[in-house]
Structure 1
Amino acid sequence: MPEGIDPNAVLQIGQEQCAQLEAVKAADPKAVVSQLIEKTDTNMVDAIAALCPGLQPELVAAARGFSDGEYTVGEAAAKDGSGSVALGSYEAWNPSETCQLTAFDAAGRTLAESTGTSPVTIPAGTARVVSNGCYTWLTA
């Protein structure tokens, strides 16, 4: 704990964040996964493990999702809109009217497209995925 920081205040903030995430989960389980895709960092992972372990399944699901950005195909998405995504089926949570996801092969040919209104499969042979206006993609 950095000097001058009250550990009780940090604990209270963490407990409040857990309560907020639990409330979102109760209202819409996919919404909390989407929120974790957007906001998860090392501190959040540690806080969930220590303070709200009931959110662990949603945290695992969030690690398999991705946000808008440009990605290569690999194991897991980075949360900063770059990195890689895994092959598989995804669904957009609360996409905008301008949502567009396109999966390209190595030659730049389109293999799959989605406007977020239904699940999309990132197929074998995909080299690059680009998503705009979709916010977050969860595994379907």
Structure 2
Amino acid sequence: MYRRSAAAAVLLAAALTLTACSSSGDGKADAEAAVKPKPPASSSVPDPADASPAPSAPAASVAPDAKPTGPVLPDPKLTPKTGSFKDNEKKYLSGRVPEKMDPAAVLQTGQETCQRVERTAKRDKDAATAAVISGEITGAKDAITHLCPEQKPVLAAAEKGFGDGTRTSPAPGTYRALTQSTTCTWDAKGKDGAILASGPEAPVKAGDKITATVPAGAASFTSTGCYAWIPA
């Protein structure tokens, strides 16, 4: 009897030792989990382990066809790091240079706009006019006015034209499409929505000139695939 009791006591002690070791390991894991808890799936708090750095703010910039809405350099501070600006260059830069931007960089943008107009007009004046009307060449008005006035004929033609889409209250007259696309279509509608005129009236072949006549009283003129229009 004594030997059985002693053996049972030894087995019980071994079982308690194993249980204690297991409990100690789980307690350590629980403690670590308590130190770095993960938010539930529905939580709006991000998991620190998955967090990525916030994106940095973009560098200051200015579109070539728009003046900045924030603080700008006053005219007396429109000076390059070396040399000096010409009077026409200062006029172009006035009110256009963000406070922390190099004026020379803004001037270069305008000069590049002039170069695009000049190169395109040298090959095809209509193409240059259409690019200005459509906005493909941006910032042309101020750039041409101050930096390359020899291109004013292109600007003058563009200011009389309009691009694809719907134009309300169009001036009556005949217009020429600045495209050789065979998919150009147009129509002019009255105030009641009725079509007053549409085209092209005949099938268009590559290279054909496309014209549209807007009748008096037209409330809208809509075109698709015609790129841009100028008075014929």
Structure 2 regions of 5+ residues with no counterpart? 1-96
Contact 2:186/2:198 (CA < 8 Å) preserved in 1? yes
- Structure showing greater radius of gyration is 2
Contact 2:131/2:137 (CA < 8 Å) preserved in 1? no
Q: Secondary structure at the match of 1:101?
A: strand
The residue type paired with residue 27 of structure 1 is R
Structure ranking higher in strand proportion: 1
Asked if 1:87 corresponds to 2:183, the answer is no
Contact 2:177/2:227 (CA < 8 Å) preserved in 1? yes
Tell me, in whole angstroms, the C-alpha distance in 1 between the residues paired with 2:144 and 2:190: 37
Displacement of 1:71 after TM fit? 1.8
The residue type paired with residue 225 of structure 2 is G
Alignment coverage as a number of residue pairs: 129
Displacement of 1:132 after TM fit? 1.2
**TM-score relative to the length of structure 1:** 0.81
Displacement of 1:40 after TM fit? 8.0
- Percent identity between the aligned chains? 42
**TM-score relative to the length of structure 2:** 0.51
Runs of 4+ in 1 over 3 A off after TM superposition: 40-44
1:133 equivalent in structure 2: 225
Displacement of 1:42 after TM fit? 9.2
Structure 1 regions of 5+ residues with no counterpart? 74-84
The residue type paired with residue 111 of structure 2 is Q
Give the structure, 1 or 2, with the largest relative contact order (CA under 8 Å, sep 6 or more): 1
Cα-Cα RMSD: 2.2
Displacement of 1:61 after TM fit? 1.3
Contact 1:95/1:135 (CA < 8 Å) preserved in 2? no
